């Protein structure tokens, strides 16, 4: 391969990368007008999430945690970078082929945006505009690589007409500058919906009619290394499919209640809900993707409108009372659907439409302005964030988002426990060592917790004072540690008499099982 050909390929690759950057930056700017969900990376990423096998999703959550979305976006950008380099190299001698490659990128983004669950035809605009901008940039850059340089005479090894160095540098600099400025501006505009932020800042939550009692003095053992009883909002886990956190304007938000067995369809605005009697409750929420001993669980003080009262106002009856609907389907503004058993929602537990979390309006990442909560059910069937629609139907007639992806339609929380301290592979000093953690069986409550060392007999741990049956319960055990390597296990028993099983099961289809354990070394 000649030196000129190598240079052409390198410059072509650079041109492709710059054209891709121009395309993405232009698309981000347009998405700031159309909506952040229409950004090509977000749209393609959302489509990839929907198409990803459940085992792969579970692996991503397990290995990347809340950074799984960032990893996906970086992966999309990496694939695009490789594609852009190839397209750019092809465009050096076949500019129309390069334009076709950019057009293909735009078409993929446009189709992905429109075909999302809440996609509309205008969502195609960012990708299409980005494709036009990227194609124009690539056409201009590729033309400079094969144009005549009128400013400098060609050298003996460089034939005339091979490379317009000055023109290429000017075009490349312009493309880079546009990409940087437009990309940053577009990202910032898409990341912040000023009207939504202002609407949240203006919220003053009314005092609840039914307040939660003070957390009992002995509920938080305050043992170093153990989780606090109440999880601060910034530390509360987040698991969802939204690559861009929806920022919903509370002033324009609406909620419908309709469907089978509804005799009086209802529609509310945010202020309508705030004017209703509110309840305040401590509720532990956990994700079905939580592996044994995993972090996707938290306890918060929620304020909301009792859901059962709203359903009864709409004329809904439980199936056991002759109601025709056995599933309540909650829809999010991003198109996600969750299905809860109507019988469970109406059985007297504190199911609610939450508007507040730990004394403040819901954070955007946790569902502002309104999310749903049903104590005792895993989040994927009960805790819809950014709620906008509630429809009464049946499990036979409709499969919610996660059910179509191999998860169970109904998912009561399993009795579980976790060791928070000591940490796995900790190096400890011989003598008294506090072993502590949390146990949970929402809406049933924890009866006892037991610990065993090195496969010996099960020993009763000291449970913290219970707040309510809907919250987790801390526990502790003082272990007289002797030198050597040791294996510590924990199990819990709920008030229904069910003892946590030691049989290991993954998270699919209805939550993990098994005893959490840690291995430590005592010196």
pLDDT tens, residue by residue, 277-313:
999 999 999 999 999 999 999 999 999 999 999 999 9
- Spacing of C-alpha 141 from chain mean position: 39
160 has a pLDDT exceeding 80: no
The Cα 8–Cα 3 span in angstroms is 9
In this structure, the answer to whether residues 351 and 239 fall within a common structural domain is yes
Name which of 37-51, 80-94, 99-113 the model is least confident about.
37-51
- Spacing of C-alpha 264 from chain mean position: 34
Give the pLDDT confidence score for residue 273 in this predicted structure. Answer: 97
Other beta carbons less than 10 A from residue 476's beta carbon? 19
pLDDT tier at 70, thresholds 50, 70, 90:
confident
In this prediction, what percent of the chain has a pLDDT beyond 70? 95
In this prediction, what percent of the chain has a pLDDT beyond 90? 72
Residue 411 lies in a domain: no
- Spacing of C-alpha 485 from chain mean position: 38
- Which of 342, 373, 405 is the endpoint of a domain? 405
149 has a pLDDT exceeding 50: no
Domain with 43 in it: 3-191
The Cα 17–Cα 133 span in angstroms is 13
DSSP run (H or E) holding 187: helix 165-191
Query: Over the stretch 4-53, which tens digit does the pLDDT of each residue have?
Result: 778 888 999 999 999 999 999 999 999 988 888 888 888 888 887 777 77
Sheet holding 427-428, edge to edge: 427-428, 516-522, 484-494, 446-453, 459-460
Residue 171 lies in a domain: yes
In this structure, the answer to whether residues 396 and 429 fall within a common structural domain is no
Average pLDDT, the chain: 91
471 has a pLDDT exceeding 60: yes
Q: Which of 50, 55, 60 is nearest to 407 (CA)?
A: 55
Give the pLDDT confidence score for residue 416 in this predicted structure. Answer: 98
Q: How many domains are contained in the chain?
A: 3
Task: Enter the tokens of residue 330.
Answer: 């909650």
**Which DSSP category does 332 fall into?**
E
In this structure, the answer to whether residues 185 and 254 fall within a common structural domain is no
Query: Over the stretch 219-260, which tens digit does the pLDDT of each residue have?
Result: 999 999 999 999 999 999 999 988 889 999 999 999 999 999
Cβ burial, residue 124 (10 Å; 0-12/13-18/19+): buried
Give the pLDDT confidence score for residue 162 in this predicted structure. Answer: 59
Sheet holding 462-463, edge to edge: 416-421, 431-440, 473-481, 462-463
Q: Which of 486, 480, 430, 489 is nearest to 457 (CA)?
A: 489
Query: Over the stretch 306-363, which tens digit does the pLDDT of each residue have?
Result: 999 999 999 999 999 999 999 999 999 999 999 999 999 999 999 999 999 999 999 9
Task: Please list the residues that pair with 283 across neighbouring strands.
Answer: 300
Residue 204 lies in a domain: no
Residue 196 lies in a domain: no
In this structure, the answer to whether residues 133 and 239 fall within a common structural domain is no
Give the pLDDT confidence score for residue 151 in this predicted structure. Answer: 39
CATH code assigned at 246: 3.90.420.10
Residue 145 lies in a domain: yes
pLDDT tier at 1, thresholds 50, 70, 90:
low
- In angstroms, the Cα distances linking 450 to 127, 226, 414, 515 are 57, 17, 17, 11
Give the pLDDT confidence score for residue 153 in this predicted structure. Answer: 43
Residue 206 lies in a domain: no
In this structure, the answer to whether residues 396 and 274 fall within a common structural domain is yes
Contact 507, 406 (CB under 8 A): no
- Which of 140, 175, 191 is the endpoint of a domain? 191
**Which DSSP category does 228 fall into?**
P
Residue 209 lies in a domain: no
Q: Are strands 360-361 and 352-357 parallel, antiparallel or unpaired?
A: antiparallel
Give the pLDDT confidence score for residue 154 in this predicted structure. Answer: 41
Q: E strands, 287-344, where?
A: 297-306, 327-332, 337-341
In this structure, the answer to whether residues 436 and 395 fall within a common structural domain is no
At 511, phi and psi to the nearest 5?
110, 150
């Amino acid at each position: 391969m000649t030196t000129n050909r190598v240079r052409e390929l390198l410059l072509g690759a650079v041109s492709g990368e710059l054209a891709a950057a121009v395309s993405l930056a232009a698309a981000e700017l347009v998405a700031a007008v159309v909506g952040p969900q229409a950004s090509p990376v977000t749209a393609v990423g959302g489509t990839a999430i929907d198409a990803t096998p459940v085992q792969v999703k579970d692996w991503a959550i397990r290995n990347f945690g809340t950074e799984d979305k960032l990893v996906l976006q970086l992966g999309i950008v990496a694939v695009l970078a490789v594609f852009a380099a190839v397209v750019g190299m092809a465009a050096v001698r076949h500019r129309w082929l390069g334009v076709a490659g950019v057009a293909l990128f735009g078409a993929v983004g446009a189709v992905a945006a429109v075909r999302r669950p809440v996609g509309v035809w205008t969502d195609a605009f960012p990708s299409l505009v980005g494709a036009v901008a990227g194609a124009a940039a690539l056409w201009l850059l590729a033309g400079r690589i094969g144009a005549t340089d009128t400013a400098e005479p060609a050298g003996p090894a460089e034939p005339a007409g091979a490379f317009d160095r000055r023109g290429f540098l000017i075009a490349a600099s312009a493309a880079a500058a546009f990409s940087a400025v437009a990309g940053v501006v577009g990202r910032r505009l898409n990341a912040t919906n000023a009207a939504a932020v202002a609407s949240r800042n203006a919220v003053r939550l009314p005092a609840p009619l039914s307040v939660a009692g003070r957390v009992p003095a002995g509920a938080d053992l305050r043992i170093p290394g153990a989780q606090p009883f109440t999880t601060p909002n910034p530390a509360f886990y987040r698991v969802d499919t939204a690559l861009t956190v929806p920022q919903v304007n509370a002033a324009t938000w609406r909620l419908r209640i309709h469907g089978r067995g509804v005799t009086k369809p209802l529609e509310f605005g945010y202020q309508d809900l705030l004017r209703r009697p509110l309840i305040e409750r401590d509720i532990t929420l956990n994700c079905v993707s939580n592996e044994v001993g995993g972090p996707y669980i938290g306890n918060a003080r929620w304020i909301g409108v009792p859901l059962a009262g709203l359903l009864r106002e709409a004329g809904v009856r439980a199936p056991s009372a002759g109601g025709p609907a056995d599933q309540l389907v909650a829809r999010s503004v991003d198109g996600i659907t969750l299905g809860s058993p109507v019988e469970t929602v109406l059985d007297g537990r504190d199911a609610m439409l939450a508007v507040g979390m730990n004394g403040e309006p819901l954070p955007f990442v946790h569902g502002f302005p309104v999310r749903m909560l049903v104590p005792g059910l895993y989040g994927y069937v009960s805790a819809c964030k950014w709620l906008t629609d509630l429809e009464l139907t049946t499990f036979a007639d409709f499969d919610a988002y996660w059910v179509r992806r191999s998860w169970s339609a109904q998912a009561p929380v399993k009795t579980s426990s976790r060791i928070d301290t000591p940490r796995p592979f900790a190096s400890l000093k011989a003598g008294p060592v506090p072993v502590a953690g949390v146990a949970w069986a929402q809406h049933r409550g924890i009866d006892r917790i037991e610990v065993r060392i090195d496969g010996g007999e099960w020993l009763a741990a000291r449970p913290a004072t219970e707040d309510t049956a809907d919250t987790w319960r801390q526990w502790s055990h003082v272990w007289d540690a002797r030198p050597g390597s040791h294996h510590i296990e924990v199990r819990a028993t709920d008030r229904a008499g069910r003892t946590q099983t030691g049989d290991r099961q993954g998270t699919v289809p209805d939550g993990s099982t098994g005893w959490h354990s840690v291995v430590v070394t005592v010196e």
